[in-house]
Every structure is written in C-alpha cells, then in structure tokens.
C-alpha cells in the first residue's frame, strides 16, 4: 500500500507520521520522533554555539555540524522507510513543514550556496531561521535521494494548504485528524496532527496527478 509521510521538524529532531489508505478515510500507519543530528558531537543549535567564536572557527563548526545533520538525517530517514517497507507499505511522497524556499529563507543548505556564517551570526533571528532551514532541507534531500516526491509547506500555512488540497474546511480537518490519533493512543500533540495533515495533503496531491 502506498503511504505518504509528513514531517514537522524542530531544532535537531522531527516528528514523522505515515498515512495510507483512501483519501476520504485515511489511517496513520506509523508515527515516531527521529533525530536529525548527533548532539554528542555537535550542538543542535549550531549557530548559537558559534556565537563569540572567531569567524574561521565558527565556519568550521557550522560546516561540521551541517555534515553531521545530513549524515544523521539520511540514516534516520532510510531507517524509517525501511521499517515501513518491512510492514508492506511503499513510501512514495512526503510533506515537510519548513521555511526553506520561502520569503524568510536565509539561503539554501543543499543544492545551492551554503549559508553565509558571518551574515547569519549578525542577527539572532537569522540564526533561528538558518537552523530551521538546515533541518528542513536535510529532510528534503534525504527523501529526494530515496526517490520520494517532496512538498515543502511553510509551518504557518499547513492548515491552509490542507484545506485547499483536501477540499475540506479547517474545522472538519481538525476533527478528522483528532480522530485519526484515537487508535494510536496518547500523546497526540499538535506536531503529530500537523505532520498528519502534511502527509494527507501530499497523498491527495499524488492521487490527483495519477488521476
């Protein structure tokens, strides 16, 4: 059975959900929290850790952190996909909540120039933005490399995009997603619900291209 994935990344980790079934009555077939970095070797808030260092040392820290994030994220995504396939599911598409690619983007971390460390460190808001973009883009890259379609959605637009893609009003979607969490048991927090909406919307987009 084809499944769609939804990811709600944070600084160093992400909530991941897999959704399968009919669009009118989908089901969550997996949910988990996955690490996106190795905090035993590098701080999750890499730019914050670089504050106060000379520029050369700061750049070295950031580049090393980026490498670790890409490695760990790739490994964890591969493990998630393997677990799904082992239970008879075929991951085909994914939605990620990320600011990367939007108007608040500092700069791409993959497939483009690396973030300008001095520029990012000059403003606290840029540090938060760059860290968020790094984790979101590491997820996107890992999923692309695994052959999945990937849709990026700004975190503040998750519900609006779902309303358009699933052609339901926001209240109905909220109730539906709440019900999807009942068989799983608690906790069923906002992150899981947003990841579910992202996966469900990605599944609808895929089905529309097939139809």
DSSP state of 114: P
Query: Helices marked H in 146-189 — which ranges?
Result: 158-166, 170-180
User: What residue ranges do the domains of the chain occupy?
Assistant: 2-210
pLDDT at position 115: 67
75: region left, alpha or beta (phi > 0 left; psi from -120 to 50 alpha): alpha
Query: Can you tell me which residue has the tokens 């160093």?
Result: 12
Say what percent of the chain tops pLDDT 90: 85
Check residue 90 and give its pLDDT. Answer: 96
CA atoms within 13 A on the CB side of 13: 7
Quote the pLDDT of residue 45.
96
- Tell me which residues of the chain have a pLDDT lower than 50: 102-113
Check if CATH label 3.30.420.10 holds for domain 2-210: yes
Res 211: pLDDT: 59
- For residue 114, the cross-strand partners are none
- Strand segments, DSSP code E, in 36-148 are 90-97
Q: Report residue 192 as tokens.
A: 């899981």
């Amino acid at each position: 059975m084809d499944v769609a994935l939804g990811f709600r990344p944070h600084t160093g980790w992400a909530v991941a959900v897999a959704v399968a079934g009919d669009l009118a009555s989908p089901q969550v077939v997996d949910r988990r929290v996955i690490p996106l970095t190795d905090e035993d070797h590098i701080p999750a808030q890499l730019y914050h850790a670089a504050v106060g260092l000379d520029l050369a040392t700061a750049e070295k820290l950031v580049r090393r952190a980026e490498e670790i994030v890409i490695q760990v994220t790739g490994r964890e995504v591969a493990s998630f996909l393997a677990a799904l396939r082992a239970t008879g599911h075929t991951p085909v598409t994914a939605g990620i909540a990320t600011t990367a690619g939007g108007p608040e983007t500092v700069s791409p971390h993959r497939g483009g120039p690396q973030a300008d460390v001095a520029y990012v460190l000059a403003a606290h808001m840029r540090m938060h933005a760059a860290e968020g973009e790094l984790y979101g883009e590491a997820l996107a890259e890992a999923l692309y490399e695994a052959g999945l379609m990937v849709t990026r959605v700004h975190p503040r637009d998750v519900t609006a995009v779902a309303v358009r893609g699933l052609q339901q009003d926001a209240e109905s979607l909220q109730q539906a997603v709440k019900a999807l969490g009942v068989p799983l048991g608690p906790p069923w927090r906002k992150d899981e619900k947003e990841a579910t909406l992202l996966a469900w919307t990605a599944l609808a987009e895929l089905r529309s291209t097939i139809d």
